[in-house]
Chain A
Amino acid sequence: MELIPIKINNKEIKVKKGTTILEAARQNDIRIPTLCNHPDLEVAGICRICVVEIEGMRNLQASCAYPIEHPISVKTYTEKVRKARRFNLDLILAQHYGECYSCVRNNNCELQSLAKEYGVNFYRFPHIKEPRYEIDDSSFALVRDPNKCVHCKRCIRTCLDLQEVGVLETAGRGYNVQVQTMLDRPLVELNCVYCGQCINRCPTGALHANDPSDWVWEAIDDPEKFVIIQTAPSPRAAIGEEFGLPAGTSVTGQLNTALRRMGFDRIFDTNFAADLTIMEEGSELLWRLEQKLVHGKDIKIPMITSCSPGWVKFAEHTFPELLDHLSSCKSPQQMFGAVIKTYYAQMAGIDPANIVTVALMPCAAKKFECNRPEMVDSGYKDIDYGLTTREMAGMIREAGLWLPELPKSDFDHPLGLGSGAGLVFGATGGVMEAAIRSVHLIVTGRQVPFKNMDVTPVRGMEGIREASITFENTLERYKFLEGVTLNVAVAHGIKNARQVIERVKSGEGNYHFIEIMACPGGCLGGGGQPIPTSPEIREARAQAIYAEDHMLPVRTSVENPEIQQLYKDFLGEPLGHLSHQLLHTHYTPRGRYTM
């Protein structure tokens, strides 16, 4: 690679040809402020905050959009540059309706930070004092407040380029340009998959999740109510970021203490439900394979995971003809709700009508999922409220607790024990890894043939990963799989999901089992996770999850004693009658662009 000598603020450095000025500056710890730029997104170069001066050029250049091809000398804070940044910031502030103290992004807003960085202490231009646009809170998952929009189009680029869903658009021209939903319709009417990735990339409070924490508090405060929370692995690997801890710090034990002090009556581990999901889903896979291979029945292979509600909704809109490929298993969140309001209620002697189930999830779409009309198999709403990681951090702060300072404590039992397999659900490839561990054990009676049981071929951050595993020396019951090679694929992010499905449709991909997660990185990069997000942050969260997996005594779902107990006492067997009633579901074909 050709190296080009350049100067930034008179410092001589060498950069790879094609590096942008912004990248070059960051590699050398020179700060250039940005607004419309985001590490996950295509370059737009439209906010004009990151402008710099290049010697010999009359006009300033957007450093994010200027690839270095020749030796240049760049200055990043000359008078011209400072003035341009300040004026452009002033222009944005003037049209931004924002009362910071009543904003969900107060203290974590890029516009606010820029204003502070540039010493803004007055409005240069006449500014908006009243909201001008209606807030769209039509969906359970997302809220759009266009009054706070700064036209950086990060949400549009997220939806269109990163996810290839495309429910956000630029409408109009000139001063009347608006970032809006497709055809200016309420989100609830559209094919939005509620992944919430736009929220994670919005620099201001123009996008946020629909927050039910007031209802959760109300339930906690109500002595009649028995409030049970389950916490998913991804929030535990990320919520520390909301309290100043570096990305990749797992705070499971501290979080349990916080939740207990806040007044939750029971704290259960979603990993337990993830293990339950694997029991059912692994069995479903084996059942499908047997029906197909042994009985020659027309059963849909590949089977595709269904625990990502964003992916499920996307499939319902985009591939309604393929819904039979989706595993009929509910997601861990929903399985847990159904089990709590039946099995647990019975066991603990609590009227399920008085149980309020809360799920701490990394996800915006989980809010939509728990409100799907079919999710009432326990006779009640299986899960009452879905909270995001960010919202939970808010509640913890509201309770006056500072997470990093709290002692560690354990989950409540039963339903509080999760295996390492359930844990790795949080990372892309995790469901696949968990399934392979269990299925291999079931089919052969032996653990997976990987060092430390790490199924590394399905790990990583490449958009689409493929792997194969051959069954050898199978147990008598599974002789039909002797020598059979299981082809699997893992995709994360809707864009990659679409590609994998196209491969299936074209016949190019000869898979048996596919894991799809709607969000880049899987759940740990979910739309409910702490802001900001970047490839590095997601990688750190993944490492936290994999490290914790190694420390757990039980590494496969089948070996989880509390799961074994659940089947023995209540469910009977995987795919049994009660399982079908409580743990499985069906899908609804939807319009391509409409609800």
Chain B
Amino acid sequence: MKNSKKRILFGEYIVGSGLAAALKLKPKEVVNEVKKSELRGRGGAGFPTGLKWESAAVQKADQKFIICNADEGEPGTFKDRLLLMEHPGKILEGMAIAGYAIGAHHGIIYLRGEYVYLKKGIEERIDHMKATNLLGDKILGKRFNFDVEIRLGAGAYVCGEEFALIESLNGRRGEPRNKPPFPTEKGYLDKPTVVQNVETLCYVPYIIANGAEWFRTHGTMKSTGTKLFSISGDVENPGVYEVELGITVRELLEMVGAKDTKAVQVGGASGICVSEKDFDKPIAFEGLPPGGSIIVFNHSRKMLHVLENFMEFFVEESCGQCTPCREGNYRLLEGVRLLKKGDCTVAYLRDLMELARVMQISSKCGLGQMSPNPFISIIENFKDEILYS
């Protein structure tokens, strides 16, 4: 197993040290440090965090915003819930540092409606940090103000997409916008806005306190740092694990006591489903999708049932504005049901596979581009079970 003991988020940390270190630097230096760390977004898309900050930092605007994307809704993902419950201080500190770096004084935590019970704990942490001068006015005696507000989602998975989230905050249907312009140019209230996943923000204080070089000693060349994995399904010890990026599926399975494993869904419902032949592939930005959700299926599970569950999810959770996602997911679900009944011809299944690829390349946002992943990977990797048994 690959150094799974090397931890960051679940390791030692002195409260406020990252923020204190940041405020001693110039904002530009903070951005550069994050850039050097090669930290990439932990929400799934993996966009380099430093570049995102830089793009917002250079914008001229009377107001800018830092938004913490706490709309964790990917099936099989619950790492952010754990961070929000047990480490809210790191999130808030990360937001303040990001605010300092780009010149924002207002942060918003977009907390999914399902996690409303976590709100109180986060609020208490905000109050505590204000009391200890880590948030609010003149933070740590420097000329930097930053406050944080919590806003609740209302049961819409697509609001995890950054533009849908911003639209939701703007009081609209959570429908992703066209890019460009990107949120860093025109986001919340049309002001430059940086949206970061909960987990991404948690790494920030560590990077500033310990340096980019230290951070880069974790993970692989292209995927620096550690990563939290939410592991569920047919395993003995489900839960959240912090491991270095680059770990293989097999190593993860061993770690959590998975037996008789037939399939592993890597990266949540919108990730891909791998069979035994791919268990030695690494999970990293250059490998299997590192969204952080691992769902394990043993040999008693029927893959068409699994796939039907995923496709039902996307049919409901698509925002419904673009053709391939709104109509395509429905057609894929319909196809899975035909397969279950034994009524799907191979020719039509080929059409559906083509459709899935069209959805990947022509949908408007990430949801529509990723939603066909389980369809393609399950049909391809479990063809024997689906077509010949």
Contact A84 B358 (CB under 8 A): yes
Number of interface residues of B (CB under 8 A): 32
Residues of B within 8 A of A95 (CB): 327
Which one of B331, B363, B369 has the highest number of Cβ atoms from chain A below 10 Å of its Cβ? B331
Contacts of A51 in B (CB 8 A): 362
**Would you call B61 an interface residue if the criterion is a C-beta within 8 Å of the partner chain's C-beta atoms?**
no
Residues from 141 to 167 in B contacting A, C-beta threshold 8 Å: 156
Interface stretch of the complex, out of A171-179, A203-211, A479-487: A171-179
Task: State A408–B318 Cα separation when bound (angstroms).
Answer: 57
Tell me the complex Cα distance, A151–B324, Å.
Answer: 12
* Residue pair B362, A173 in contact (C-beta under 8 Å): no
Q: B330 within 8 Å of A by Cβ?
A: yes
- Are A88 and B334 closer than 8 Å at their CB atoms? no
Chain A 122-177 interface residues, beta-carbon cutoff 8 Å to B: 124-126, 151, 153, 170, 172-177
A125 CA / B328 CA spacing, docked (Å): 10
Q: Does A353 contact B (CB under 8 A)?
A: no
Cβ contact within 8 Å between A58 and B361: yes
B358 touches A174 (CB 8 A): no
Chain A hits for B320, CB < 8 A: 151, 170, 172-177
Measured CB to CB, the closest approach of chain B to A184, in angstroms, equals 16
Quick one: which of A45, A87, A94, A172 contacts B358, CB cutoff 8 A? A87
Question: Are B362 and A48 in touch, CB under 8 angstroms?
Answer: yes
Say whether A47 contacts B326, CB under 8 Å.
no
Question: Contact at B361–A174, with CB atoms within 8 Å?
Answer: no
User: B351 to chain A: which residues have CB within 8 Å?
Assistant: 124-125
Interface of A is mostly: loop
Q: Verify B331–A125 contact, CB threshold 8 A.
A: yes
Does A83 lie within 8 Å of B358, measured CB to CB?
yes
B contact residues around A80 at 8 Å (CB): 361
Interface residues on A, range: 35 or more
Closest to A83 in B: B358
A95 to B321, CA, bound (A): 14
Please give the distance in Å from B60's CB to the nearest CB on chain A. Answer: 18
| B23 interface residue (CB < 8 Å to A) | no
Minimal Cβ-Cβ distance residue in B for A85: B362
Closest to B369 in A: A59
B315 in contact (CB, < 8 A) = yes
Q: How would residues 346 to 384 of chain B score, 1 for a CB under 8 Å from any chain A CB and 0 otherwise?
A: 000001001100101111100001000000000000000
Contact of A91 among B180, B331, B369 (CB under 8 A): B331
Stretch at the interface among A62-70, A279-287, A452-460: A62-70
* Contact residue among A44, A65, A175 (Cβ-Cβ distance under 8 Å from B329): A175
Alpha-carbon distance A391/B360, docked complex (angstroms): 43
With A43-B178, A174-B315 as known contacts, state yes or no: A91 contacts B361, CB within 8 Å: no
Interface flags for A59-82 (1: CB within 8 Å of B; 0: not) read 110100111010000000000100
Check B330–A175 contact: CB distance below 8 A.
yes
Residues of A within 8 A of B324 (CB): 48, 84, 87-88, 91
Question: A88–B362 contact, CB under 8 A?
Answer: yes
Q: A177 touches which one: B314, B326, B354 (CB < 8 A)?
A: B326
Interface residues of A in 7-60 (CB under 8 A from B): 43-49, 51, 58-60
Closest approach, in angstroms, between the C-beta of A48 and any C-beta of chain B?
5
Q: Which residues of A contact B334 (CB under 8 A)?
A: 126
Min CB distance A409 to B, Å, is: 50
Cα distance, A88 to B354, chains bound together (Å): 11
Contact status B323-A92, CB under 8 Å: yes
Residues of A near B278 (CB, < 8 A) are none
- A175:B354 contact, CB within 8 angstroms: no
Q: How far is the CA of A175 from the CA of B312 in the complex (A)?
A: 10
- B322 near A: Cβ within 8 Å? yes
Check B361–A84 contact: CB distance below 8 A: yes
Most buried by B among A80, A83, A174: A174
Shortest Cβ distance from A95 into B: residue = B327
Closest to B338 in A: A126
A contact residues around B264 at 8 Å (CB) = none
Is B318 within 8 A of A175, CB to CB? yes
**Cα separation A175 to B328 with both chains bound (whole Å):** 9
For the complex, give the distance between the alpha carbons of A60 and B326 in Å.
17
Q: How far is the CA of A80 from the CA of B317 in the complex (A)?
A: 27
Are A88 and B323 neighbours in the complex by a CB distance under 8 Å? yes
Q: Which residue of A lies closest to B155 (CB)?
A: A173
- Tell me the nearest residue of chain A to B180, going by C-beta: A67
Q: Of A67, A69, A175, which contacts B326 at CB under 8 A?
A: A175
Q: Which residues of A contact B156 (CB under 8 A)?
A: 173
> Are A91 and B323 within 8 A (Cβ)?
yes
The reply on B319 being an interface residue by CB < 8 A is yes
Cβ of B114 < 8 Å from any Cβ of A? no
Does B173 lie at the interface of the complex (its beta carbon under 8 Å from any beta carbon of A)?
yes
| B residues in contact with A124, CB < 8 Å | 351
Whole-angstrom CA separation of A58 from B45 in the bound complex: 14
Partner of B322, one of A47, A59, A67, A87: A47
Contact A91-B364, Cβ < 8 Å, known A46-B322, A65-B178, A172-B320:
no
User: Does the CB pair B326–A174 fall under 8 Å?
Assistant: yes
Q: Given the complex, which residues of B lie within 8 Å of A125, measured CB to CB? A: 331, 351
Given contacts A46-B364, A48-B364, A59-B369, contact A151 B323 (CB under 8 A): yes
B358 and A69 form a contact (CB under 8 A): no
A66 vs B182: C-alpha distance when bound (angstroms):
12
By a CB distance below 8 angstroms, the chain A residues around B321 are: 44, 46, 151, 153, 170, 177
What CA separation (Å) do A341 and B156 show in the bound complex? 60
B86 touches A (CB below 8 Å) = no
CB distance from A313 to the nearest CB of B (A): 28
Contact of A170 (CB < 8 Å), options: B173, B180, B354, B364: B173
Which residues of B come within 8 Å of A, CB atoms? 156, 173, 178, 180, 314-324, 326-331, 334, 351, 354-355, 358, 360-364, 369
Q: Give 11 A-B contacts (CB < 8 Å), ordered by A residue.
A: A43-B178, A48-B362, A48-B363, A48-B364, A65-B178, A88-B324, A125-B331, A126-B334, A170-B320, A172-B320, A174-B318
- 8 further A-B contacts with Cβ under 8 Å, apart from A87-B355, A91-B327, are A48-B362, A60-B361, A87-B354, A88-B362, A124-B351, A125-B331, A174-B317, A177-B320
Would you list the 4 A-B pairs with minimal beta carbon distance, nearest first? A177-B320, A91-B327, A65-B178, A84-B362
